[in-house]
Amino acid sequence: MSELVVDDLVAGYGDARVLHGVRFTVKQGEVCAILGPNGAGKTTLLRALSGMVRTRGTVTLGGTELSGRSPDTIARLGVAHVPEGRGTFMPLTVEDNLRLGAFVRRGRAEVDSDLDRIYTYFPVLKTRLKQAAGSLSGGEQQMLAIGRALMLRPRLLLLDEPSLGLAPLVTRELFRIVQAINAEEQTTVVVVEQNAHLALGIAQQAHVLETGRIVLSGTAEEIRADEQVAQSYLGYRV
Amino acid sequence: MAGFLQQVVQGLGAGAIYASLALALVLIYQFTGIVNFAQGELAMFSTYVAWQCMAAGLPFWVALPLTLVVSFAGGMLIERVIIRPVEGAPELTIVIVTVGLFIFVNAAAGWIWTFLIKDFPNPFPGGALELGGVSLSFSTLGVLGVVALVMGLLYLLFQHTKIGLGMRAVAANPASARLVGIRVGWTLALGWGLAATVGAVSGVLVAPLLFLEPNMMAGVLIYAFAAATLGGFDSPLGAVVGGLVVGVAETLAGAYVGFIGSDLKVGVPLVIILGVLLLRPQGLFGRAAVERA
């Protein structure tokens, strides 16, 4: 049974429609990659899932309807969105940023032990706990954003361009960690990424979005093998 | 020397009052980016509520908590009903709304309680503490103590409670706060409630020194703006320090600069506002709007 079901999703800003009837599903514990060029609607798709933009159509997570709800309610239902730009609380300390990720959870002891878990994924954060998050490097802020999202113990993790602005080595490390998180916590992940090669490396399923419509769907291998995708997004011919 | 210190003490006493209203201004600005021109009038209205409670026979120390609760609820209500519909509107729109609120609250107070001045009891005992030739009146000490207490409570709330953490998150990044599940709308209302409560304290401190009348906070508001500008509009600590500095500067200028005297004293905060905006627009403790991307 599918964990995330997106059906006929329409979304946009004001009068400008960006998504025109997007339809896909993600199984529990799977990583799903959304690929596509600039302006295809990838970020808008994640925003629609987390309630940041108005939508039509239906989105359900584990049978619970998400569509039409506000972002804070959707977060309470277990959706953690690492937004474009990382959503860092700049003047707050690294530790406060992480604790905010668990804002809707109860039980301080559990939250504390989850903090330790985040430090094992991202040891660098532990060395900067009392530092203002705005002073972190881009890569560290991306780690912080993912750490913050994990503090929710999400059912569904939405990642928006985790590679944006990061050095290739840092990006690879980040994807390795996301893969480890997915394997260890069985968290369902939807990742939007321009770097198709990296995204397909950790995903089971992938969809190609173009001008607000899914034009190609399949397993990561199928998508990787597709000549069109290879030319447009992977930079080589099969 | 004793005379000079006496002026400083007097300035600190006045400054503490400016600080309390500046604190209320800063609380709202931090969360919403709104400069609430009606803050002083809300404080005045709260003071009338306290007066009404006492006129009904309640003792001061019962009337005060009651007033604070009413002010808190009133502040939240104003955010929900009046500010919410213009949230996200251009700054000018919001400024006009708060100016409208200023006029409305002022007129409402006059309508309900008339514009005749009323006596407001001083909660602190009369008399003074003599310290090396400087006399510290209990009233001044009381005002300083209350402002320190308010500041301390706000610090505890913001730094050591989960609600406070949520409020700081909303101030820092509302969109991201929503994504971690914080009810941003209610948090903003909470900010207005808190500001109204702090403002009520300010009004109750001012009223015994001046008289209670609908226009009593107008002058204080100017000083509070100077204090918040000097300290930095996004820093509660800055508001308090700014308030004290403005109070002392104003008193000293009035006492020692011949041509200023007590008539031109009111010009001092305006000079401070102008100077800060020219030299250090973010204020002493404020964050300049530069951040690592």
Domain A2-234 coded CATH 3.40.30.10? no
| pLDDT value at residue A102 | 95
Write the CB contacts of A224 (distance below 8 Å, at least 6 apart in sequence): A200, A230, A234
| pLDDT value at residue B292 | 47
Number of H helices, E strands in chain A: 10, 10
The answer to whether A96 contacts B182, with C-beta atoms less than 8 Å apart, is no
Contacts 24+ apart (CB under 8 A), B95-103: B95/B35, B95/B37, B98/B34, B98/B35, B98/B36, B98/B37, B98/B38, B99/B37, B99/B38, B101/B36, B101/B37, B101/B38, B101/B41, B101/B42, B102/B37, B102/B38, B102/B40, B102/B41
By residue count, chain B amounts to 293
Of A75, A87, A134, the CB nearest to B181: A75
Angle of CA points B214, B215, B216, to nearest 5°: 100
d(CA B197, CA B24): 8
Of A73, A92, A99, the CB nearest to B172: A92
Q: pLDDT-based confidence at A152, cuts 50/70/90?
A: very high
Give the number of domains in chain B.
1
Of B165, B291, B292, the CB nearest to A100: B165
**pLDDT exceeding 70 applies to what percent of chain A?**
97
**pLDDT exceeding 90 applies to what percent of chain A?**
75
Residue A227 confidence (pLDDT) above 90: no
DSSP notation for B80-95: IIIIGGGTTS-HHHHH
| pLDDT value at residue B287 | 74
Within a domain: residue B262? yes
Q: Which of residues 143-162 of B touch A (CB under 8 A)?
A: 162
User: Residue range A149-166: average pLDDT?
Assistant: 92
The answer to whether A89 contacts B173, with C-beta atoms less than 8 Å apart, is yes
| pLDDT value at residue A39 | 86
Q: Give the full edge-to-edge strand order of the sheet including A16-27.
A: A16-27, A2-13, A55-61, A64-65
> CB distance from B172 to chain A under 8 Å?
yes
Residue A124, min C-alpha distance to chain B (Å): 18
The answer to whether B180 contacts A50, with C-beta atoms less than 8 Å apart, is no
Domain map (residue ranges) of chain A? 2-234
B238: containing domain: 2-279
pTM over 0.80: yes
> A4-54 pLDDT, tens per residue?
999 999 999 988 899 999 999 999 999 999 998 888 999 999 999 999 999
Within a domain: residue B269? yes
Considering only CB atoms, which chain B residues are within 8 Å of A99?
165
Q: pLDDT-based confidence at A154, cuts 50/70/90?
A: very high
d(CA B197, CA B203): 10
How far, in Å, are A160, A189, A196, B101, B215 from residue A229 at the CA level? 20, 21, 9, 59, 71
Within a domain: residue B144? yes
Of A52, A89, A135, the CB nearest to B292: A135
Q: What is the CATH number of the domain that holds B153?
A: 1.10.3470
The answer to whether A103 contacts B291, with C-beta atoms less than 8 Å apart, is no
Ranges of chain B with pLDDT below 70: 288-293
Within a domain: residue B293? no
Of B168, B184, B292, the CB nearest to A134: B292
**A213 beta partners:** A210
Contact in structure between A114 and A151 (CB atoms under 8 Å):
yes
By residue count, chain A amounts to 238
> A73-126 pLDDT, tens per residue?
999 999 999 998 899 999 999 999 999 999 999 888 999 999 999 999 999 999
> CB distance from B183 to chain A under 8 Å?
yes
Structure tokens belonging to residue B149:
């207490």
Q: Which of residues 203-222 of A touch B (CB under 8 A)?
A: none
User: Residue range A147-172: average pLDDT?
Assistant: 92
